[in-house]
Amino acid sequence: MGIQLKVALSYIAIIVCMLILLNIYPILVSQNFIFRSKQDTMQDKATQYSRLLSTLDSINRDSVEKMMNLLDDRGSYRVIITDDNLMAVYDNTITDNVLGKIILLQEIRLAMEGNDVFYATYDRDRIVSKAASPITIGGRVNGVVYLYESDVELAALLSDIQTNLSTIAFLISVVVVGLSLMMSKFLTSRISTLLAAIRRVREGEYGHRAKIKGRDELAEIAKEFNALSERFERVENMRRQFVSDASHELKTPLASIKVLADSITQTKDMPPEMIREFVEDIGNEINRLTRLAEKLLSITRLDSNVEAEVSRVDVKEVIMRAAHTLNRLAQPEGIGIMLELSDDCYIDANEDDIYQIVFNLIENAIKYNVKGGQVRVFLFMKEDKVHFIVSDTGVGIAKEDLDRIFERFYRVDKARSREAGGSGLGLAIVQNAVTRLKGTIETESTLGEGTRITVTFPCAKSRSAGKGGLS
């Protein structure tokens, strides 16, 4: 069963149930009102007759007939009066007269026991009303007044009401069924549109968008789906670009290694000095490959969004460890690393992520500095934030390149990057890690003067904000 049919049937079932209730309730109310009115009327007449007849000395045919003739109030109902032997002594009907006969009706027997009996019922095409009341003389039941009425006209009226209500209910049901089918078709068509869009995106058409207008929940779902598709498209484009760039980056050192190895194996009588030089070049390319592989693994781990172990990290200790390691890179170029680090700078993070941020920023500041230049590293607390700043006296970055430096494999100066062993992944790793830690990163740079990168982290929840700052 399709969703369209399910929705339509749901609407129809609800409306039909309501119509049935609305159809039955007025009929029951009307019927109950008529029955109660009949009962009250019959009860009043039966009680009236029994009281008047109770004034007689005895219940016999002559005395009862005289009394009933004096009343001259017979209405449309049949009146039968019996004595204490259940024999009819009075009957106001000409046809089927029961005078002198024993009447064994249940109502009469109950009245002989001293009970008042009154009720009305619907019998096929008529309303039947019955009443029986005991005639008490001298504290003893001497007879019974029995009233019977069969009302065809009122039953016909009740039947007409029922027929009219049924007709109205049927017409409303037809309209409701039509509207339900239209509404369900409209609803399911939008769902089908969304489902078709999902299938196309699942098959790889990440650029496809669901075109559903409106302000209801389906429109909101479509909006969120389109946003998700856009993200899928962006991620897929990044993935393709990443694979292409990674392949290119890996291919270059591998090609160099192959050329150098072929030169060694194919050149006869190669001087030992040249062989040593080629082997050193091969080693440098292998180191380059190793660094690139490490960068790729780091950025893949960050992209995977795998929850890493979080702990309370002392940022100062991480900076000092990274600076100590990178000092070997800075010394041959005469570059000095100056640290101005405040104590009690803690953040809740994975220590490896913090190390990646610190290491890559300081490494970049060294690689793209000038000989004899300087790298300054600052760490302090301010307004419940941990501020980490790396500035250098290097070549700087042009304004048109500032917005792209965090792109993967993007290099401002490709020749200088390759010479320095850069892969174009360091700053991408930094940005990814900072984003994971809910931090911010800002870059300021002037050509020929240097670059300043500021990273801000929320401080550890278990630590109160410290005081301090950098002017």
Could you tell me the residue range of the domain that residue 354 belongs to?
310-458
pLDDT at residue 238, as a whole number = 66
pLDDT at residue 306, as a whole number = 52
Average pLDDT per 10 consecutive residues for the chain, totaling 471 residues? 58 69 68 78 86 89 86 75 91 84 90 88 79 90 90 74 74 74 71 79 77 74 80 72 61 72 80 82 74 63 59 91 87 91 89 84 88 93 91 85 68 47 64 84 88 90 48 37
pLDDT at residue 350, as a whole number = 82
Tokens read off for 218: 């389906």
Q: Which residues does 412 contact at the CB level (< 8 Å), separation at least 6?
A: 397, 398, 401, 405
- CA separation (Å) from 9 to 3, 21, 183, 188, 215? 10, 18, 11, 13, 25
pLDDT at residue 83, as a whole number = 92
Q: Is 377 a member of any domain?
A: yes
Boundary (domain end) residue, out of 158, 189, 206: 158
Q: Is 199 a member of any domain?
A: no
Q: Is 249 a member of any domain?
A: no
Beta bridge partners of 121: 128
Neighbours of 201 (CB within 10 A): 20
pLDDT at residue 204, as a whole number = 77
Helices assigned H by DSSP within 98-151: 106-112
Q: Which residues does 186 contact at the CB level (< 8 Å), separation at least 6?
A: none
pTM confidence score:
0.44
pLDDT at residue 388, as a whole number = 93
Q: Which CATH number does the domain housing residue 451 bear?
A: 3.30.565.10
Boundary (domain end) residue, out of 158, 181, 213: 158
Task: Using alpha carbons only, give the angle 352, 355, 360 rounded to the nearest 5 degrees.
Answer: 125
pLDDT at residue 419, as a whole number = 46
Q: Which residues does 141 contact at the CB level (< 8 Å), separation at least 6?
A: 84, 111, 112, 113, 114, 134, 135
Q: Which CATH number does the domain housing residue 23 bear?
A: 3.30.450.20
- Reported as type and span, the H/E element at residue 20 is helix 3-53
Boundary (domain end) residue, out of 121, 142, 158: 158
DSSP code string of 209-238: -----SSSHHHHHHHHHHHHHHHHHHHHHH
> CB–CB of 117/148 below 8 Å?
no
What is the total count of domains within the chain? Answer: 2
Q: Is 400 a member of any domain?
A: yes
